Amino acid sequence: MAFYVARRTLSIALVLVLISLIVFVAIHVLPGSAATLILGEYATPESLRALERDMGLDRPFALQYAAWMGGVVTGDWGYSLAMKQPVTAIVGLRLRNSALLAVFALVAVALIAVPLGTLAALRRGRWLDLAILTGSYIGISVPEFVTGMVLILVLAGPSLHLFPTGDYAPLAAGLRPWLSHLVLPALTLTLVLLAHVVRQTRSGLVEVLQSAYVRTARLKGATERRIVVRHALRNGLLPAVTVIALDLGYLMGGIVVVEEVFAYPGMGRLILYAIQNRDVPLLQVSILLVAATYAVANFAADLAYAWLDPRIRYQ
Amino acid sequence: MTTITRAVRANPPLAIGTLILACVLALTVLAPFLAPYGVAEQSILDRFQRPGVKHLLGTDQYGRDLLTRTLFGGRTALLLGLGAVALGLLLGVPIGLASGYAGGRTDEAVMRVVDAFLSFPALLMALMIVTALGASTAHALLAIGVASAPGIARIVRSQTLAVKHEEFVLAARAQGDSHAYIMFGEILPNLLPPIVIEASIRVGFAILASASLSFLGLGVQPPTADWGLMIREARQHIFLSPWPLLCPGLALALTIVGFNLFGDGVRDRLAGRA
Amino acid sequence: MSGQAAEPALQIERLSVSFATPRGEVRALREVSLEIEGGEVFGIAGESGSGKSTLAYAIMRDLAPNARVAGGAIRFAGEDLLGLAPDALRRIRGRRIAMVYQDPKSALNPSMRIGPQIAEVLEIHALASRPGAAARALELLALVNIPDPPAVARAYPHQLSGGMQQRVVIAMALAGDPALLIMDEPTTGLDVTTQARILELVADLRHDIGAAILYISHDLAVIAQVSDRVGILYAGELVESAPAAQLFHRPAHPYTRGLLDALPDIDLARAFRPIRGRLPDLTRRPEGCVFAPRCDFLEDACTRAQPPMATVGESHVARCLRWETAMAAPPMRQERRLGAASGEIAAAVASVRNLTKHYDEPGALTRWLGLARPPVHALDDVTLEVRGGEVLALVGESGCGKTTLGRLVLRLLAPTSGAVTVRRRQSGAEVTSDAEFRRVVRIVFQNPDSSLNPMKRVAAILDRPLAIQGVPRRARRLRVRELLEAVRLDAGYLHRLPRALSGGEKQRVAIARAFATGPELVVLDEPLSALDVSSQASVVDLLTELRSRLDATYVFISHDLSLVRHLADRIGVMYLGRVVELGTVDEVFRPPYHPYTRALLSSIPVPDPSVRAPTVRLEGTVPSARRPPSGCRFHTRCPSKLGRICEEVEPPLQNADGTHWLACHIPLEDLRREPPVRPASEPDA
């Protein structure tokens, strides 16, 4: 286990460095340079060069990267050109808002999806399974922005108007407004994630239910309930958990879309804002944060998995 | 008739998926013949029409026919989805194959880089690339293709690892086959089934991602007919008329369901045969 | 409780089971009838596709969803198992009927400790309280001879060796004190020395527990060693059933005869002759006797209808019309020897000098971080020569390094140190160029399912080595046909994919590929172990013929000493990366033995219930190759260990005879005095 943890730690450190490099390279080296990004496509060559000098973009690439990374590590995240504020001051609140949304959605998913997937696996081939499967197909196939807008149409429209169509209210404004602004974006994320997690749970469990050791348990005379609780669930859900962790990151991209639909002030919308306003320092840090968060979460999931699986724990 | 019912009963996902994809393909290919109006044909007097005899699915805020635009939007979606996945395969398959086959430190190094790329949610990666290159249909295709390559590389690598230890690979080495021949002549043919499954599910994702880019204004640009873009334009007016949202939304969902069902169906079928 | 004493524990009457598949209905079992008395061991023997596992799972009422019991009855202690309701079935499973599985590794729950997995049986059937069940689990572990039960009870399955896992599964099966125990290939996949100890355990247990045992195996020798009565399954039919001694000494059914004659018997007491043809397609079963297409005693009546069960003797029945003729026919004597067995010593074609291979050498970084694990010592300092024209066998159990050695000779692996040199037979010139090496040195792998690319047709598979060697296209096409003919497959096979071939046919294609370039040295890596008994001998025939035609030299890697005795000129016995004994077949099979060779030889079961070789017990398991023992690597398990010298000093290579070497500290005179394990080399006819 110690060996495993050490290995994984080394590799996550390496991955984090690579992530920062990718972000930096993508925004600095690709054809449209940072200066073009800021000044727009029609800037004169002179003004471009002047800006590049100002920003230190004429220095060797390695130096630029080192300077930026040094800043990121020491807490100097640069200065937002569009918002005229230090990036650190902007990012904190948005990060918290996005995290809030993600946590709401994740808790809801964990509470609903896992039991639903388990149920489907146990009733495999019956109508309940079919209904759950059909639902999950629809869930993974409808884009977040369509789901979100349909929810707005139905629940926030002039006729019902149960929730606001978007925006955000701080907790200071009261519990009700705060919650009511959260419900629709959280629900949208939940619906999409739900479908994925249900499918993963179901297939993980179905595989285990067909395993030789479940057969052993059945031939010991164990009841269906005992087979599921003592033998199938743990082994069946564990692999599902890592796949879910991988899936989540894939879907976290959805947070950009969902925040845009609901005009919710989180990291996703901040990234869009940075793109639209060609705010390079802000964009770099925001993307780096999202990617790093995901990489670290994945790392944690791996360790949790390793610890829960005796085959890795006692190596 | 009996063969159809038997096909549906034997593998419902595959049968339904194939059916949906066949319909989508036929409708989009035949769009110029089926569409009752021109793609860009505006009629200010007919704005926000509900579905009716004149406009089967209604009209949008410029009075353009929604049926027409939805049909033509399918062309953009399929082009982007298939094109992006083709690009992703072109990049991802050789990387995953070579990395898995080489093994050892090369594999370790390649996989860390792939991991780093995979830490970016695919949409974010695409956003980053589009930001650097500028928003256009071609760039969206490029961005989504590149963003899907690491995932494809990873799957291909894990499949390569499984096949690599088969004795026929050793047998090829023992008779003096070159590494290139072993990778592409011996291993690759055995990877085709999983690659087909992966690709078909990824086309669904690519269509979704390209629609998302367009929705954010960073993909297909007006006045091209594109489902994501149509929804973006419908957004301001949903309470006035939901049809400009619902038509492309439904088309998107149906197409993506089709690809997912098809991929799962192929998987089931291959699993059943083994 | 279990009815009258006279009632059999298990009674199967005309049981038929079929599977619905896309190709049609597969009739896996057809009218199988048998009875097992309490306390009796009934052995079921059959090749792949015989339906033996289907029989086991039919009794457990756990057939696959696409299976259907087409008729018949299964009565357990007078109760009809097929008619039981789910609840009643649950009360019987694990409690009164228990099962031991072929693959213990996958039969145990990977995330549950051993103790609770055993105790669970007692909890389910309310045979003990929770603490009582835990205590009983420890007793059961002790009963199956597991050292240190408390430690094992706390372990997870993956921490145990295969043999230990199988003991755990047996303990689990015994927990409910069952009246019927079904053992489905319980020693398949285990090493021979481990197998010998499991068989010993089964023999001990049957006296203690008094349960009826249904013992299923493909290995007739194992069946002969454990069973009181034996049934032979072929293509889903019970073709013969008799007391063990009767069946092995006076078989009545032609298939049983053929099967026994097909065995490579370690004591050279059997003919080792293949059964021609292949298993019939079970979706299109022949009208008459199912064995008719392959039978030597065929007459017209055989193909008309399924023959009735004929009574041969007391509780001896055979489903054959011509059993009297078959029984009266003289025994087969067609001994196969692959080896050249010529006395002269030819020049070496391959020399292995101080060859060492360590896998998984830690890198600089892990070493610097202190995380380095020692490398796997797959092969350590091996020196030997392969002489022109001989068959050199390398034998040993899994992990002994025999496969690694073969791959090093093939240059498929790079040695950690030491060298292999290959020379041409005629000129004696060293083979240096890669192209020449790949032409002259070839390999046949163990498993043709894996060694033939499933996506390539036979023609393409055979064409490739010729293309690599630069043979022109037209010549290649001709040569491919010749090759196919040489391995006795007709041209119809050219365009087939491997999956449309039987196991034996696949291995023929693999052999054709190896011989495509006219090799001089061929490494045969367990080429028979994936094949059914009835097709092994025919592949040996093929290898013999090809060898004499090409005057090739074979390195024959095998775990099966019975085969090796038939096939080899010389044998190298390997243990944990070293060659411990080297000599001609006769030398290795008679004293002086290396203690490990002795244990290995005595572990081999014989297909004759009247021969019970005394087993030399090997304690413990093979130590980890990451940390091989110091001194003599065998000292941790050696029954005749001398003392500290074995632990500290590497044993010297002692020359027992001109060609016979063994690495042991025990003086040769002492080893010479030991009795032989197997009867003298030539059997009395």
pLDDT of C98: 94
Interface test with C, best of B105, B164, B168 (most C CBs within 10 A): B168
- Which residues from C are below 8 Å from A when comparing CB atoms? 60, 62, 90-95, 98-99, 101, 103, 106-112, 120-121, 124-125, 156, 158-159, 169, 172, 176, 369, 371, 373
State the complex-level ipTM.
Answer: 0.85
DSSP letter string, C448-509: HHHHS-TTS-HHHHHHHHHHHTT--HHHHHHHHHHHHHHTT--GGGTT--GGGS-HHHHHHH
Residues on chain A touching B246 (C-beta within 8 angstroms): 150
**Which of C438, C446, C454 is facing B175, going by the closest CB pair?**
C438
Note whether A84 contacts C: Cβ–Cβ < 8 A. no
Taking CB atoms and an 8 Å limit, are A220 and C121 in contact across chains?
A: yes
Chain segment B172-207, per-residue pLDDT in tens: 999 999 999 999 999 999 999 889 888 988 999 999
pLDDT of C403: 92
**Which of B121, B132, B204 is facing A253, going by the closest CB pair?**
B121
pLDDT of C339: 61
Q: Which amino acid is at C410?
A: L
pLDDT of A215: 92
pLDDT category, C371, cuts 50, 70, 90?
Answer: low
Distance, in Å, from the CA atom of C532 to the CA atom of C525, rounded to the nearest integer, reads: 16
Distance, in Å, from the CA atom of B241 to the CA atom of C351, rounded to the nearest integer, reads: 86
pLDDT of C685: 34
pLDDT exceeds 90 at position A57: no
Cβ–Cβ contacts within 10 Å for residue C682, how many? Answer: 8
Note whether A126 contacts C: Cβ–Cβ < 8 A. no
Prediction pTM value: 0.85
Considering only residues B262 and C622, tell me which one the structure prediction assigns the higher pLDDT. B262
pLDDT of B51: 81
pLDDT exceeds 90 at position C676: no
pLDDT of C510: 95
Taking CB atoms and an 8 Å limit, are B121 and A252 in contact across chains?
A: yes
Considering only residues C362 and C131, tell me which one the structure prediction assigns the higher pLDDT. C131
Considering only residues C285 and A224, tell me which one the structure prediction assigns the higher pLDDT. A224
Residue C150 CA: distances (Å) to CA of A268, A309, C127, C201: 56, 22, 21, 20
Considering only residues C427 and C660, tell me which one the structure prediction assigns the higher pLDDT. C660
Distance, in Å, from the CA atom of C529 to the CA atom of A276, rounded to the nearest integer, reads: 68
Residues on chain C touching B172 (C-beta within 8 angstroms): 464
pLDDT category, A241, cuts 50, 70, 90?
Answer: confident
Across residues C637-654, what is the average pLDDT?
Answer: 90
Taking CB atoms and an 8 Å limit, are A146 and B132 in contact across chains?
A: no
Note whether A222 contacts C: Cβ–Cβ < 8 A. yes
User: Distance (Å) from the C-alpha of residue C621 to the closest C-alpha of chain A?
Assistant: 18
Question: E strand or H helix at A235, and its extent?
Answer: helix A233-252
Taking CB atoms and an 8 Å limit, are B120 and A290 in contact across chains?
A: yes
Considering only residues A31 and C288, tell me which one the structure prediction assigns the higher pLDDT. C288
Residue B212 CA: distances (Å) to CA of A184, A252, B144, C179, C615: 19, 13, 11, 66, 72
Residues on chain B touching C437 (C-beta within 8 angstroms): 176
Taking CB atoms and an 8 Å limit, are A221 and C124 in contact across chains?
A: yes
C190 φ, ψ to 5°? -95, 155
pLDDT of C498: 93
By C-alpha distance, the chain C residue nearest B186 is C453
Across residues A250-268, what is the average pLDDT?
Answer: 84
pLDDT exceeds 90 at position C683: no
pLDDT category, C342, cuts 50, 70, 90?
Answer: low
**Which of A14, A30, A153 is facing B132, going by the closest CB pair?**
A30
pLDDT exceeds 60 at position C605: yes
Asked if C44 and C251 touch (Cβ cutoff 8 Å), the reply is no
pLDDT of A107: 84
By C-alpha distance, the chain C residue nearest A307 is C111
Residues on chain C touching A231 (C-beta within 8 angstroms): 109, 112
Length of chain A: 315
Across residues C480-493, what is the average pLDDT?
Answer: 91
User: Distance (Å) from the C-alpha of residue C119 to the closest C-alpha of chain A?
Assistant: 11
Chain segment C549-558, per-residue pLDDT in tens: 888 899 999 9
Note whether C467 contacts B: Cβ–Cβ < 8 A. no
Taking CB atoms and an 8 Å limit, are A310 and C111 in contact across chains?
A: yes
A197 φ, ψ to 5°? -70, -35
Name the token pair of C80.
């009809």
Residue A70 CA: distances (Å) to CA of A61, A73, C14: 14, 5, 81
- Which residues from B are below 8 Å from C when comparing CB atoms? 105, 166-168, 170-177, 186, 189-190, 192
pLDDT category, C6, cuts 50, 70, 90?
Answer: low
Query: Lowest mean pLDDT: which of A256-260, A274-278, B269-273, C70-74?
Result: B269-273
Across residues C416-438, what is the average pLDDT?
Answer: 90
pLDDT category, C138, cuts 50, 70, 90?
Answer: very high
Taking CB atoms and an 8 Å limit, are B133 and A250 in contact across chains?
A: no
Residues on chain A touching C95 (C-beta within 8 angstroms): 221
pLDDT exceeds 70 at position A251: no
Asked if B88 and B149 touch (Cβ cutoff 8 Å), the reply is yes
Query: Lowest mean pLDDT: which of A115-124, B43-52, C599-608?
Result: B43-52
**Which of B105, B175, B186 is facing C453, going by the closest CB pair?**
B186
pLDDT of B20: 92
Taking CB atoms and an 8 Å limit, are C120 and A220 in contact across chains?
A: yes
Chain segment B114-140, per-residue pLDDT in tens: 988 888 888 888 888 888 888 888 989
User: Distance (Å) from the C-alpha of residue A300 to the closest C-alpha of chain C?
Assistant: 20
Cβ–Cβ contacts within 10 Å for residue C514, how many? Answer: 26
Taking CB atoms and an 8 Å limit, are C513 and B190 in contact across chains?
A: no
User: Distance (Å) from the C-alpha of residue A220 to the closest C-alpha of chain B?
Assistant: 28
pLDDT of B272: 60
Q: Which amino acid is at C99?
A: M
Distance, in Å, from the CA atom of B96 to the CA atom of C582, rounded to the nearest integer, reads: 45
pLDDT exceeds 50 at position C523: yes
Taking CB atoms and an 8 Å limit, are C109 and A215 in contact across chains?
A: no
pLDDT of B274: 38
Note whether B239 contacts A: Cβ–Cβ < 8 A. yes
**Which of A137, A157, A249 is facing B261, going by the closest CB pair?**
A137
Chain segment A97-149, per-residue pLDDT in tens: 888 888 888 888 888 988 899 899 988 888 999 999 889 888 888 888 899 99
Note whether B123 contacts A: Cβ–Cβ < 8 A. yes
User: Distance (Å) from the C-alpha of residue A11 to the closest C-alpha of chain B?
Assistant: 7
Q: Mean pLDDT across chain C, nearest whole number?
A: 88
Taking CB atoms and an 8 Å limit, are B171 and C464 in contact across chains?
A: no
pLDDT exceeds 90 at position C45: yes
**Which of C437, C445, C469 is facing B167, going by the closest CB pair?**
C445
pLDDT of A247: 65
Chain segment C227-262, per-residue pLDDT in tens: 999 999 999 999 999 999 999 999 999 999 989 888
Asked if A204 and A239 touch (Cβ cutoff 8 Å), the reply is yes
pLDDT of C509: 95
Q: Which amino acid is at A7?
A: R
pLDDT of C4: 45
Q: Residues of chain A with pLDDT > 70: what percent? A: 89
pLDDT exceeds 70 at position C68: yes
Taking CB atoms and an 8 Å limit, are A15 and B115 in contact across chains?
A: yes
Note whether A252 contacts B: Cβ–Cβ < 8 A. yes
pLDDT exceeds 80 at position B10: no
Note whether B33 contacts A: Cβ–Cβ < 8 A. no
